[in-house]
Amino acid sequence: MTRRRPRRARAEVSRLPAVVGSETTERRSDGDWIVRRISGAAARKQYRCPGCEQEIRPATPHVVCWPDDRIADRRHWHTVCWTRRDRRIQPGR
């Protein structure tokens, strides 16, 4: 018979700090961007990726990016969408 942990022990595990990656600065065609990598363990909410307009589900590793001087404009992106961002066809071209 397997031994189960008491409920209190399981609840304490959920209070552990989330793992968030380091911030880097990336130079893109439209300026410098701060990029923060988010691990699956730290991704607890659902977001919509501005690159593909699809959901980023909880527990999905992704990136949070914002222009170097405007943290209020930060957005959550799928990692591959952010990587391919400069190669997308821009509207109006």
pLDDT at 17 over 60: no
pTM above 0.75, yes or no: no
pLDDT digits (tens, 9 = 90+) for 27-74: 888 889 999 999 888 889 999 999 999 999 999 999 999 998 888 989
Q: Tell me the Cα Rg of the chain.
A: 17
